[in-house]
Structure 1
Amino acid sequence: MLKFGVLGPLEIISENEEVALTPPRQKTVLSLLLLEANQLMPISRLVEAVWGDRPPATARTQIHFCISTLRKTFDVIGSPYLIETLAPGYRVRIGDDQLDLHRFDSLARRAQAVGANGRPWEASELLGKALAMWRGQALADVDSSLVQAISSRLSERRILMTEERVAYDLELNRHAHLADELVSLTAEFPLRERLQAQLMAALYGSGRRSAALETYRRIRMQFVAELGIEPGKELQDIHQEILKNEYVPTISARCSGLRRPVGPRNGFPNRGFRSRSCLPKPPDQ
Structure 2
Amino acid sequence: MPPFLVLGPLEVRTPDGMPTSLKRRKARELLALLVLRPGTTVEREEIVDVLWGERPPVSAQANLNSYVWDLRRVLARAAPADEPRPTTSRNGYRLDLRTEECDAYLFEELAATGRQALRNDRYRAAAELLAKALGLWRGAVLQGITAEFCVATAARLDLVRFEAMEDYADARLGLGQHEELAAELAATVRRHPLHERLWAQFMVALYRSGRRTDALRAYHDVCEVLNAELGVGPCTQLRLLQQAIASRQCRHVRVGVCAS
Common fold: TM-score over 0.5: yes
Check the 8 A contact 1:82/1:94 in 2, yes or no: no
Which amino acid is 2:13 matched to? I
TM-score by length of 1: 0.79
CA distance in 1, matches of 2:219, 2:79: 57
User: Paired residue for 1:82?
Assistant: 85
Say which of 179, 183, 208 aligns to 1:180.
183
Find out whether 1:104 has 2:111 as its counterpart.
no
Deviations 1:155-179 (A, max 9, x none): 1111101111111111222111211
Say which of 214, 227, 232 aligns to 1:229.
232
CA distance in 2, matches of 1:131, 1:93: 24
User: Paired residue for 1:204?
Assistant: 207
Matches for 1:117-266 after TM superposition, within 5 Å: 117-248=120-251, 250-252=253-255, 258-259=259-260
Q: CA deviation at 1:57?
A: 6.1
CA distance in 2, matches of 1:120, 1:143: 38
User: Paired residue for 1:264?
Assistant: none
Deviations 1:256-284 (A, max 9, x none): x643xxxxxxxxxxxxxxxxxxxxxxxxx
Check the 8 A contact 1:232/1:258 in 2, yes or no: no
Over the matched positions of the two proteins, sequence identity in percent amounts to: 30
Deviations 1:149-205 (A, max 9, x none): 311211111110111111111122211121122122212211111111111111111
**Greater CA drift, 202-211 or 59-68:** 59-68
TM-score by length of 2: 0.86
CA distance in 2, matches of 1:203, 1:76: 51
User: Paired residue for 1:66?
Assistant: 67
The 1:250/1:47 distance shift into structure 2, 3 A limit, reads farther
User: Paired residue for 1:10?
Assistant: 10
CA distance in 2, matches of 1:7, 1:117: 28
Higher fraction of helix? 2
The 1:2/1:150 distance shift into structure 2, 3 A limit, reads closer
CA distance in 1, matches of 2:77, 2:38: 21
CA distance in 2, matches of 1:7, 1:77: 18
CA distance in 2, matches of 1:186, 1:48: 41
Deviations 1:43-102 (A, max 9, x none): 3543454346x3536596244442233223334657471201134321112332221122
Matched length: 256
Q: CA deviation at 1:136?
A: 1.3
User: Paired residue for 1:277?
Assistant: none
Check the 8 A contact 2:48/2:56 in 1, yes or no: no
Gaps of 5+ in 1: 260-285
Deviations 1:198-230 (A, max 9, x none): 111111111111111121111111111111111
Which amino acid is 2:6 matched to? V
Which amino acid is 2:5 matched to? G
Which amino acid is 1:8 matched to? G
CA distance in 1, matches of 2:160, 2:259: 17
**Greater CA drift, 195-204 or 76-85:** 76-85
The 1:198/1:6 distance shift into structure 2, 3 A limit, reads same
CA distance in 2, matches of 1:225, 1:60: 52
**Greater CA drift, 67-76 or 130-139:** 67-76
Classify the secondary structure of the residue corresponding to 2:7: coil
Deviations 1:117-155 (A, max 9, x none): 442211111111111111111111112122133112111
**Greater CA drift, 67-76 or 138-147:** 67-76
CA distance in 1, matches of 2:218, 2:58: 57
The 1:233/1:113 distance shift into structure 2, 3 A limit, reads closer
Root-mean-square deviation (Å): 2.6
Check the 8 A contact 1:82/1:92 in 2, yes or no: yes
CA distance in 2, matches of 1:87, 1:164: 45
